[in-house]
Every structure is written in C-alpha cells, then in structure tokens.
Amino acid sequence: MMTRKTRIAVFCSGNGSNFKALFEAIRNKQLPAEIVLCISNRSQCGAMEFAQQNGISTLHITEKQFASFDEFAETMVERLKEHQIDIILLAGYMRKVPDAVVAAFPDRMLNIHPALLPKFGGEGMYGIHVHTAVLEAGETETGATVHFVNEEYDKGEILLQRTVPVLPDDTPETLAARVLECEHRLYPDALEKLLALRRS
C-alpha cells in the first residue's frame, strides 16, 4: 500500500527564499512530502506570490481579522486541519505562533533561525537584528539552526545546526546573505531528517 505524502504548511512573512528552497529540494530530492499551504500575516509578499504561481493554497490570516486572539488561534488550527496538514515549517514567519497551534502540532513544527541557538535567540531577535547583534558581540562564527517549536520563543529542541564564518569586513547585510545561503541547504536537510524520524 502506498503511504500518502506528508502534507506541509509553510508560514512566511517576507521574500520566502527558504520556502522556495524547500519547495525545490522536495522535488529534486524526491522527498515523500508536498507543500500544500502557505500561511502569511501579509496578504502580499514574495512567499505568497510564489505559492500562487505554483498552485499552492494560500491563507492570509492575522489577529486583526478577529474579535479575539483565541478566535484567531482557533481559526488557524481549523484551517490547518481542513488542509490535513501533518507538519508546519516556519520560514521567515515574523510573528509568534499562537500556543493553541503549537499544542495542536506537538513535535510537528519546525522553525529556522539565522544564528547558532541558544545564542542570539528570543524576542526581538529576528532578521537583520540577529546579524547586527552577532557583529556587535565580536563573534568569529555564526550560522543557522532548525529547531522544534514549543511555547517558548526559539527554545525548542535543536534538530540541525550549521556554522558559517564571520569575516572581518562583514556588515549585517553581507553576513545575512552568507547565513541565508546556508539556510537554503540546512532547512531541506532538516526536513529530510524529520521525515525520516516520522517514518522510522
């Protein structure tokens, strides 16, 4: 009997370059998975555009559309269930995922963070702020981390991590670009690892 492919939802807020890298890697590595839903707090962004161009369902959902935070969280869980989502991949999603959603996907939600967690994580540490902090701290290496998501920001168990050098003349932007390139290989590898764990 054929087992069905693992159904993935990606959560994005921006360019979605990690989303694109995941999408391509699933095809190239022939992983037994498919991205079927893109959720964003922004109606228009690179990630949403890419989803639309590739026949992936999109959902623009924010707290502001609802009377209460609970209603927002419940609706998100309902939509994920409607799409029969097995795993969630946060890929540049710049909002905290509601606890109710985290609770509905135990050990089934990953996030990518552009630093070597537990260093340079937590509230306020996202995007370019992370790389600025790494340079200010005088680090000689940084990297990217894929970790499981729990209720505490950037604190879930680490699944995979890879380092990149910090060069003497780096700016936050040059460092961000080097880390992002690393992320594009790391996230597919972490997904492959999670799929293997789930099938073993």
Residue closest to 110 by CA, chosen among 147, 77, 143: 147
Cα 56 from chain centre: 17
Least separation in angstroms between CB 67 and ligand GAR: 28
91 is a contact residue toward ligand GAR (CB under 6 A): yes
Q: Are 128 and 102 in contact (CB under 8 A)?
A: no
Of these, 126, 146, 160, 178, which contacts ligand GAR (CB under 6 A)? 126
Instruction: Tell me which stretch binds ligand GAR (CB under 6 A): 22-30, 53-61, 109-117, 156-164.
Output: 109-117
User: Given candidates 11, 87, 92, 175, which one binds ligand GAR under the rule CB under 6 A?
Assistant: 92
* Binding-site member from 76, 112, 160, 191 for ligand GAR (CB under 6 A): 112
88 binds ligand GAR (CB under 6 A): no
Q: Is 127 in the site for ligand GAR (CB under 6 A)?
A: yes
Q: Is 113 a catalytic residue?
A: yes
Alpha-carbon dihedral 183, 102, 148, 57, rounded to 10 degrees: -40
In the set 113, 129, 131, 147, the catalytic residue is 113
Task: Tell me if 18 contacts ligand GAR by CB under 6 A.
Answer: yes
Question: 10-46 burial, b if ≥16 CB within 10 A, otherwise e?
Answer: bbbbbbbbbbbbbbebbeeeebbbebbbbbbbeeebb
Q: Which two tokens stand for residue 160?
A: 């995979």
Closer residue to ligand GAR in complex, CB, 92/156 = 92
Q: Which two tokens stand for residue 40?
A: 């964003």
Provide, rounded to whole angstroms, the least separation between the CB of residue 18 and ligand GAR.
Answer: 3
Q: Are 150 and 166 in contact (CB under 8 A)?
A: no
* CB 146, CB 183: distance < 8 Å: no
- Kindly determine how many residues on this chain lie close enough to bind ligand GAR according to the rule CB under 6 A: 16
Residues recognised as catalytic: 113
Site for ligand GAR, rule CB under 6 A: 12, 14-18, 91-92, 112-114, 126-127, 130, 180, 183
